[in-house]
Amino acid sequence: IDVRTPNEYAQGHLANALSIDIYANDFKSRVSKLDKTKPVFVYCKAGSRSGSAVDIMEDLGFKEIYDLKGGIISWQQAKKPIVKKSGEASL
- Mode of pairing for the β-strands spanning 40-42 and 65-67: parallel
**Residue 15 DSSP code:** T
- Of the candidates 44, 57, 68, 72, the residue annotated as catalytic is 44
Q: Rg of the Cα trace of the chain?
A: 13
Q: Is 44 a catalytic residue?
A: yes
Please answer whether residues 76 and 6 qualify as being in contact, where contact means their C-beta atoms are separated by less than 8 angstroms.
no
- Partners of 80 in beta bridges: none
- Which residues belong to the active site? 44
